[in-house]
Structure 1
Amino acid sequence: MTQPMFEQLEIQEIHDTLLSILRIVVELCEANGIDYFLIGGGCLGMARHDHKMIPWDDDLDISIWANDMPRFVQAAQTLPSRYKLTFRTLSKNSSIQISDTSTLIEFDNPSKKQLICADNVFIDVVPMMYWPSLAWKHFDNWYAIALAINRTTNSPTPWKAIVKKLLRFSGLPHLTVSLGRRFYEPLVERMNCRCHAEGVGFISGAMGQKWIGRYPWHVIYPLKNRPLGSFGNTDTVLVSSPNDLHEFVRLRYGNNCMQQPKPETLWKHFDRAVRIKP
């Protein structure tokens, strides 16, 4: 059997791959009437790098409303076979990674791999919800911890694994999740629908998931279509993005987000990527 050949990808080629994935996801959402918007480093690139991706960035993120995620997953079954969906967790409102299986990503540090489910160059699709107040989302963070412990006690940090095992042994996470599914989750769903209908509250990660920032309604709406490209390539993707882009990135990354970071602080999700040659 002939062994596959691999060609290492330069950062520009990684960006081209990410934009190709983004383009098909945008087309999928628009064809199926699914609301979405760009979040994360893609927005920072728009604001700080003149509508281009951050030069060293190696992923993109979009948000979809949690109630629309089942429709998105169903519609994504029609994507070309080279694209794969991977759920980050088995929990409700899990993020999804959509990856290009003609690529592979490589890690020098195994602990990085534990943060990523996909084996290929990917973009994250993150479920978001409407919340009436910060207090509710603070409470939800504790609920997310209970869900995680009830699901698994594994952790790359030994002391965290021990604490998780002790908490699970106490039975508190199981009790919290049982009560939450009966009373808390239906209440949050009703609040989410009310805030959406009335245009109030703020927007953050879906129930049982982490913050993903917290944004007042007017920062997100009305959504605006903006081009996103990369350095060295004139092709762009017209993508839905937050109304007040600069305020969005300030809330997500801090008051100094428009300054260039120091080289030692640059974050990369993986160390190398290769293309599988036929």
Structure 2
Amino acid sequence: MIKVEIKDIQNKLLEIIEYFDAFCKENSITYYLMGGTALGAIRHKGFIPWDDDLDVFMTFDNYQKFLLVAKNNLNADYYLQEENTKEWPMFFSKLRLNGTTFIEEDTKYRDMHQGFYIDIMCLNKTSKNLFLRKLQFLAARIITAKTVSKKGYITDNKIKKIGMKFFSVIITSRIEKKLTSYIRRFNEKKMDYVGHFFGRAKFPNTSFPIHYLGKPKNVKFETLVLPVPEKVEKYLILRYGEKFMEMPDEKTKSLYPQHAAIVDLNVDYKDFIKNNKI
């Protein structure tokens, strides 16, 4: 990996989120910082110091609107890497910056855009009923086992390897569509909960009352002001526990390794791959 300071990586991510924020405002699309990015906003007023990614989520209707508008209206400097495509089989999307290189270990040899990015996640409506929520979660986990295998996910965990292989074989495109429809079956209905089922969080940390989102609350994030859920503290307690404001120990930090394997802030990934052995 080319030596790049974490702050330089974070500054490039700030460039992307600044554009994304303006684009969403211009098109009346509501989004919120999520996960570790929301935690960083509240605890550090910016990035968690060792973070090299930036995540947002949206309700299903805002997510669909974003994908529709972004397809034809993005600035030429940006690229929409849309979910559930041959290029990107995962069930979330990315906004990537052209003219940069950000290659991860498990996508090193994939034919795909590999510039700097932010992740754009979709929240799906769900039920108060714990059992029904768990079924949606399990359906998403089955799909994820297949999609991470297609993406090239690298793991030493034998159980994960077996699961990825098993579901990549038995989950046909038809079954995947049915599972996706099941996960999204409440999105046109009035429901009290939403869930982020395609993330890395365990089931108890994936869904929460929809009123936690509420009207976006603007908070300081490095040099910008960005939106978090209205009841962001309740969301962070659900996601990380009551002591979310405390710095984690080294063991917890090790669960969140940096994403970048190869980085170049100023060279397009196509040129980088062409001119370097990776």
- Residue 269 (str. 1) matches residue 259 (str. 2): yes
Q: 1:178 & 1:217 partners in 2: Cα distance? A: 26
Partner of 2:175: 177
1:25 positional shift: 1.0
1:274 positional shift: 2.0
Describe the shift of the 1:178–1:219 C-alpha distance in structure 2 as closer, same or farther (beyond 3 A).
closer
Q: Is the 8 A contact 2:102 2:264 kept in 1?
A: yes
Give the 3-state SS of the residue equivalent to 2:118 in structure 1. strand
Describe the shift of the 1:82–1:160 C-alpha distance in structure 2 as closer, same or farther (beyond 3 A).
same
Partner of 1:204: 195
Give the 3-state SS of the residue equivalent to 2:194 in structure 1. strand
Give the 3-state SS of the residue equivalent to 1:54 in structure 2. coil
Of 74, 77, 96, the residue aligned with 1:99 is 96
Moved more, 34-43 or 248-257: 248-257
Of 33, 55, 61, the residue aligned with 1:61 is 55
Encode CA deviations 1:111-148: one digit per residue, 9 max, x unaligned. Answer: 58699x75222110001122122322210122224445
Of 20, 26, 34, the residue aligned with 1:31 is 26
Q: 1:185 & 1:125 partners in 2: Cα distance? A: 20
CA RMSD after TM alignment: 3.7
Unaligned 5+ runs, structure 1: 1-5, 230-234
- Residue 247 (str. 1) matches residue 234 (str. 2): yes
Larger relative CO (CA 8 A, sep 6+): 1 or 2?
1
Partner of 1:83: 78
Give matches, 1:15-164, under 5 Å: 15-49=10-44, 51-76=45-70, 77-87=72-82, 89-90=84-85, 94-106=91-103, 110-111=105-106, 119-133=114-128, 134-148=130-144, 156-157=154-155, 160-163=160-163
AA aligned opposite 1:95: F
1:35 positional shift: 1.8
Q: 1:138 & 1:186 partners in 2: Cα distance? A: 12
More strand as a share of residues: 1
Partner of 1:232: none
1:194 positional shift: 2.6
Identity of aligned residues (%): 21
Give the structure-1-normalised TM-score: 0.73
Describe the shift of the 1:252–1:163 C-alpha distance in structure 2 as closer, same or farther (beyond 3 A).
closer
Give the 3-state SS of the residue equivalent to 1:64 in structure 2. strand
Q: Is the 8 A contact 1:205 1:211 kept in 2?
A: no
Describe the shift of the 1:261–1:166 C-alpha distance in structure 2 as closer, same or farther (beyond 3 A).
closer
Give the 3-state SS of the residue equivalent to 1:276 in structure 2. coil
Describe the shift of the 1:143–1:80 C-alpha distance in structure 2 as closer, same or farther (beyond 3 A).
same
1:63 positional shift: 1.0
Give the 3-state SS of the residue equivalent to 1:192 in structure 2. coil
1:22 positional shift: 0.8
Encode CA deviations 1:48-96: one digit per residue, 9 max, x unaligned. Answer: 11x2221221111111222333331232232222222223543998211
Aligned residues, how many? 252
